[in-house]
Amino acid sequence: MKKKIILFKGGVETLGFFSIQLANAFEEMGYQTFIFDMEDQFNSFNKLINFCHKGEATIITFNFIGLSGETIFYSENHLFFDDYKIRCLNIVVDHPFYYYKNYCRLPKNYMQFCIDKKHLQYMKRFYGNIELGPFLPLAGTSYADININANTDIAFNKFIDYDNFLSNRNIDIVFTGNYTPPSDFEPQINRLGEDYSVFYKNIIDDLIAHPYLDIAEAFEQHLVAEIEDISDSDLNTCMANMIFIDLYIRFYMRGKVVKTLVDNGFKVDAFGNGLDMQTYKHPENLIMHGGVNSLTCLRKLATSKISLNVMPWFKDGAHDRIFNAAMNGAVNLSDGSKYLHEIFDNKNAIAFYNLSKIDDLPEITHILLSNPDKMISMSQNAYNITSNFHTWRQRAKILEKYLQYIYNYILQLISRLHKGVIQSNLFNINSGVSA
């Protein structure tokens, strides 16, 4: 019998795309997978019942999809996944304080993975009772590796054509992502009166002045200064009530970076919504293409020289945009994180800029675009690093260590030990079982 894995699509398109890539990777490894469609829950649930039997399957989900109180899985006294003894692996791709309410009703057999080491530290401190997997960053996908519709108007080779790098890439700078004007968050900043408004704006100003600060660390510094003896429990609650600051600062920086290049004469092709809501000195340099799906983003990366990225305040992690750009040959131009510097520094693989010195960005960009040989070398190096270590196949291999069948096997060993079936001096958990 094949080992079974349940994943989800529907709702957030990007997360569904990640799930499909993981499903493909696991099927290559010999697993049977089932994609639950959140936009067709009734039919999917009936198929799910036929797919899994008690203790046979493992859920792999992102951001609590399927674990957020959905009525098809949750009843007053029962959770379907508990009743069917299903192992639940949840990859949280945002800061954990976004999911404060979700931690009150977790499945019995739950494990969480974080995409930033700072997030993992946060979980260990504030949710020490929750089983955690290792740090697990997101991964990259090659457009050419996906089964593309035969009717596509562009034919892509299996490998990046470096001999014709410039001629095959008609976009100088691509930006993939949405934008919300920071002013949209003013009602939340001002909702509790002037004292709170000043407090929130002081945190925002601190993060803008010191963009290397982790968001939770900045929150704690300001909260402790305000309430000296604040408990960890109250800290956790307060942080969950300030997520609008995280959104404010990420969009503030995103807008400032794009505006800096556009105003300095660089054409930026933007795939996503909202960036045209800013005022530019040279608006003709911003080419808006509107919102697109993940596959289209990959396709555009495969026809771009530079992928402009602004990290969503992950200070010790990575975003899939980094790895997607690398897998499709575009040179990454991004602010850094501790983790990104660890894997790319001194390897001539990525061009970093500093959020504290955004005015240097035009010069960095000009040097790249005027040096094709340098871009080709960086593209090759980034592709080699990413294809070897940062694809969904690699992530699936890590997740495999924590699937249901292994978990049950360990429990069986422990149970047999307690019953005296196995002598303690013979108990060796290194007998081929990964933990």
Q: Which residue's structure tokens are 């040179």? A: 331
* Parallel/antiparallel/unpaired status of strands 286-288 and 268-271: parallel
Domains of the chain: 4-136 (3.40.50), 147-180+248-390 (3.40.50.2000)
30 and 60 Cβ atoms separated by less than 8 Å: no
Closest CA to 369 of 264, 242, 213: 264
The pLDDT of 341-360, averaged and rounded, is 96
User: Given this model, what pLDDT does residue 312 score?
Assistant: 95
Give the pLDDT band (50/70/90) at residue 2: low
406 and 32 Cβ atoms separated by less than 8 Å: no
d(CA 238, CA 242): 7
d(CA 132, CA 48): 26
> What's the sign of the alpha-carbon dihedral 317, 321, 322, 328?
positive
DSSP assignment of 334-394 equals EE--HHHHHHHTTTT--EEE-GGGGGGHHHHHHHHHT-HHHHHHHHHHHHHHHHHHSBHHH
pLDDT digits 0-9 by tens, 105-128:
899 999 999 999 999 999 999 999
Please state, for a pLDDT cut of 90, what percent of the chain lies above it.
Answer: 83
Q: Is 208 left (phi over 0), alpha (psi -120 to 50) or beta?
A: alpha
Give the pLDDT band (50/70/90) at residue 261: very high
pLDDT at 430 over 70: no
The pLDDT of 355-369, averaged and rounded, is 98
Lowest mean pLDDT among 25-39, 145-159, 169-183, 330-344: 145-159
Q: How far is CA 97 from the centre of its chain?
A: 15
pLDDT at 431 over 60: no
pLDDT digits 0-9 by tens, 373-388:
999 999 999 999 999 9
User: Given this model, what pLDDT does residue 127 score?
Assistant: 97
pLDDT digits 0-9 by tens, 131-179:
999 999 999 999 988 855 444 444 455 668 888 888 889 999 999 999 9
d(CA 49, CA 80): 10
CB count in 10 Å sphere of residue 247: 17
Distance of CA 10 to CAs 21, 147, 158, 296, Å?
14, 20, 29, 17
User: Given this model, what pLDDT does residue 288 score?
Assistant: 98
d(CA 244, CA 387): 35
Of how many residues is the chain composed?
Answer: 435
The pLDDT of 82-86, averaged and rounded, is 93
What is the enclosing helix (H) or strand (E) of 223?
A: helix 215-226
d(CA 251, CA 230): 29
pLDDT at 280 over 50: yes
d(CA 8, CA 12): 10
pLDDT at 26 over 70: yes
Closest CA to 256 of 186, 129, 360: 360
pLDDT at 368 over 50: yes
CB count in 10 Å sphere of residue 93: 24
Please state, for a pLDDT cut of 70, what percent of the chain lies above it.
Answer: 89
User: Given this model, what pLDDT does residue 425 score?
Assistant: 36
First-last CA distance in the chain:
23
- pTM beyond 0.85, yes or no: yes
213: Cβ contacts below 8 Å, ≥ 6 apart: 206, 207, 315
Q: What is the CA radius of gyration of the chain?
A: 23
**Residue 295 exposed, middle or buried by CB count within 10 Å (0-12, 13-18, 19+):** middle
d(CA 353, CA 382): 17
214 and 339 Cβ atoms separated by less than 8 Å: no
- Exposure string over 146-181, b if 16+ CB within 10 A, otherwise e: beeeeeeeeebeeebeeeebeebbebbbbbbbebbe
What average pLDDT does the chain have? 91
pLDDT digits 0-9 by tens, 190-249:
999 999 999 999 999 999 999 999 999 999 999 999 998 999 999 999 999 999 999 999
CB count in 10 Å sphere of residue 347: 12
pLDDT at 49 over 90: yes
